[in-house]
Amino acid sequence: IRAAFSTVTDDRDEITGFITVISDVTEQEKIEQERREFVSNVSHELRTPLTTMKSYIEALTDGEWKNEEIAPRFLEVTQNETERMIRMVNDLLQLSKMDNKEQQLQKERSEFISLFHHIIDRFEMNVPEKITFIRELPNEKLFVYIDKDKLIQVIDNIISNAIKYSPEGGNIVCRVVKQRNQLLVSVSDEGMGIAYDKLEKIFERFYRVDKARTRKFGGTGLGLAISKELVEAHHGKIWAKSKEGKGTTILFTLPLMGKKRRYNV
Ligand code: ADP
């Protein structure tokens, strides 16, 4: 809050009044600071893969291209970094569209439980055997008003993270609980967990608990930030619970559709 204070005087210089102007500049400054931080983050995030690629390409140009052992490895790194940059730029574009409210959600009445089963089935087919999915889903049809593709993106992000951080032989529990007028959806893993003071931060853009580690996994640090925007665009909330060393649970809510088919959610 900024306060400006001045006195009002008459022609004999005697004080006849005071003027105080109090303006709330904190919110504006906060937004401005966040914007600056964001631009700085984006630059850093893009510079890292670019410098890596530059040095690999230089080595190749300087003669390593002839080295049959090294050349394919260097090219592979370059390719992975390029792919990660493309993912990052796509994520950034999606966030920017959401910021500008350009992204229109294509919401429709959808049955959530079968959708969730379908997503888990897909993961089960591709995931290494070391991970077991446990489904705790109600045995009934529950309808929500959602943009299916976007909801799939949210759950994909959450489950991909759970897989990334799961130990060998870990279980991932996918649960849906029907509450009064909403669904509580959660995905729990048995991974390393997240420290209590970092639990909210993981939904911030570019935040990673361990930069080196997630970079190795090809993460962009934007997945959960996008998930948060998308869940909120569906009038839900998203948060995390964790016990360090024991595991993490990501939870989100979705309003249930009433029995009557109302579309004005
Ligand atoms: P990333 O692309 O790095 O995975 P996310 O936005 O999806 O970006 O996640 C942000 C950070 O939150 C991750 O880098 C990781 O440090 C932490 N995180 C997310 N999910 C989990 C989990 N299931 N277990 C432990 N840490 C997690």
Identify which of 237, 239, 242, 241 has the alpha carbon closest to the alpha carbon of residue 254. Answer: 237
Tens digit of each residue's pLDDT (9 = 90 or more) over 156-196: 999 999 999 999 899 999 999 999 999 999 999 999 999 99
Which is more confident, 9 or 207?
A: 207
Which atom of ligand 1 is closest in space to residue 221's alpha carbon?
A: 8
CA-208 nearest atom, ligand 1:
14
Q: How confident is the model at residue 50 (pLDDT cuts 50, 70, 90)?
A: very high
What is the structure's pLDDT at 134?
A: 97
What's the Cα-to-Cα distance from 212 to each of 3, 92, 116, 150, rounded to whole Å?
A: 45, 20, 31, 28
Q: For residue 9, with 0-12 CB atoms within 10 Å meaning exposed, 13-18 middle and 19 or more buried, which class applies?
A: exposed
Residues 58-79: tens digit of each pLDDT: 999 999 999 999 999 999 999 9
Q: Is the pLDDT of residue 258 over 70?
A: yes
CB within 8 Å of 152: residues ≥ 6 apart: 115, 119
Mean pLDDT across 20-29: 79
DSSP type of residue 196: G
Ligand 1 environment, Cβ below 6 A: 157, 161-162, 165, 189, 191-192, 194, 202, 207-210, 214, 219-225, 248
User: Which amino acid type is present at position 219?
Assistant: G
Instruction: Give the CA angle between residues 143, 146, 147 to the nearest 5°.
Output: 145
With vertex at residue 97, the alpha carbon angle to CA 95 and CA 99, rounded to the nearest 5 degrees, is 70
Ligand 1 pocket mutation pick from 86, 214, 220, 226 by most atoms within 8 angstroms of CB:
214
**Residue 82 pLDDT > 90:** yes
| 234 vs 215, more confident | 234
pLDDT band for 216, please (50, 70, 90 cuts).
low
Mean pLDDT of the chain: 90
ipTM greater than 0.85: yes
> 70-99 vs 223-233: helix axis angle to the nearest 10?
30
Answer whether 124's CB lies under 8 Å from 133's CB.
yes
